[in-house]
Chains A and B, each alone.
Chain A
């Protein structure tokens, strides 16, 4: 039974392509800026207080790794792409219930568990498109301006982001089975993912409150550490993956028991 999986995969193609194109534009912008402002970055690093850098996950901004990690990954990937996944997750079930597609879907000999799992599995499309597309764009972009990225750390920056993005989708999915109105589900999911990111960022400024950020998924994925220091937090990725599986299990549990 792969009909739902195939249809859902197809539905993800367009927005994934658009997002890759957005990243291509962003990369073109930042890579073209980098040679011109590289020298000024030392000044920049001295001019701003430390917490500003911690707030936005910035270090070694005078290197291409540090610059791209700060500009593309620490913000756009960790927040924008995360919000995109939360948005998709929140639509998976709620939008079908709202427009009555779910009635027709469930008139087929397909279980509710299978419906949820096939829809989640279709997230492979944006995951593959974005990770493959953007890593190639960044790698080639660096070469074009005469710099280079370590392909291993670049690949790890993308690979270890997968569990993080899945957790964001999982947060959306749980809301999707709980909330009937798709717009409410999506807005709530976006707000939660944004709030968690903010909690992580702000709490990391003060060591006394840093533990609060342990609740935020973004605490377990640090692209700057991967790209600049080549630190691969495999355990953190494992934690995220486990949380994702728990979220999917919760969503299946709720969805199989509720009225539609």
Chain B
């Protein structure tokens, strides 16, 4: 049984479809990256999964519970960890009191272990917390009851790089322990680093659903060629080269064909140096979004 199964899920607000016929499943023991720019509909999918909003059509199952069945969904939430993008804590409480509050509803057997990794100032009131401290408290509350499934909406926003690395390592360990992580982000490098599979959402529609390695492969190879002298671009460039940039005798491009064919082609030129590597997910993203780079701001 999939931890999360989404079937033709649609949420409309008047004419606008925040989610438009989205279908995919997330298996157990998987880190699934849900990728898209702000406003693409990631949070809408998550809020549908949590039963906070009702689907216009289609449905989803969270740990086998249909999201339209309120009673079953409520029961399933005992095994769910949720880290929202906007953390709505009771600001008057201290961090410790907030964790006590959540533990009364679903337990906290892993609280101490988590507090060693993520250490917000527990004795202070949450209203005094920085964004990073709020996020850390959010992570602790999301995982302290050892949930089977964790739904994380932009989980590393506001965290310093060290804590981001800790978070990534923690998620990988959880995955290896059989937990399911649903991870929404607009930070591509993050998804590239930790996720096993990725779904890309754009304007409410799922535009890609792939293994992260396939996606990188599909994105072609990033190639930089240093020629001994300037070359006639018309002679050098083939159909498989896209996004070609030429500066003096250096040519950079993304190669979408077979590696062997590229090498055959290159030996016909006088070459000083060649660099072939995996493309950044950002570049792959361009194929889905055109030249418009996803915005980093919120």
Contact = CB atoms under 8 A, between A and B. Distances in A.
Interface stretch (A81-89, A99-107, A154-162, A190-198): A99-107
B80 A96 contact: no
B52 interface: yes
A259 B53 contact: yes
B47 interface: yes
A5 B51 CA distance: 22
Nearest to B76: A109
Nearest to B71: A111
A103 B101 contact: no
A110 B76 CA distance: 10
Interface string B42-57: 0000010011111000
B90 A109 contact: no
A11 B92 contact: yes
A112 interface: yes
Nearest to A256: B70
B87 A104 contact: yes
A186 B47 CA distance: 27
B77 interface: yes
B53 A1 contact: no
B161 interface: no
B288 interface: no
A100 B87 CA distance: 7
Interface string A2-34: 110011000100000000000000000000000
B106 interface: yes
A107 B47 CA distance: 10
A237 B275 CA distance: 85
From B52, B78, B82, B86, name the one whose CB has the most chain A CB atoms within 10 angstroms: B52
Contacts of B92: 11
A102 B84 CA distance: 11
B105 interface: yes
Contacts of A102: 52, 88
A187 interface: no
A104 B70 contact: no
Interface in B62-78: 70-71, 74-78
Interface of A: 1-3, 6-7, 11, 96, 99-104, 106-112, 256, 259-260
Given A3-B105, A6-B104, A108-B77, 17 more contacts: A1-B105, A3-B101, A3-B102, A96-B88, A101-B90, A103-B52, A103-B88, A104-B87, A104-B141, A107-B50, A107-B84, A109-B78, A109-B106, A110-B77, A111-B70, A111-B71, A260-B52
25 contacts: A1-B105, A3-B105, A7-B93, A96-B88, A100-B86, A101-B88, A102-B52, A102-B88, A103-B50, A103-B52, A104-B87, A104-B88, A104-B102, A107-B77, A107-B80, A108-B77, A109-B74, A109-B75, A109-B78, A109-B105, A110-B74, A110-B77, A111-B70, A112-B70, A259-B54
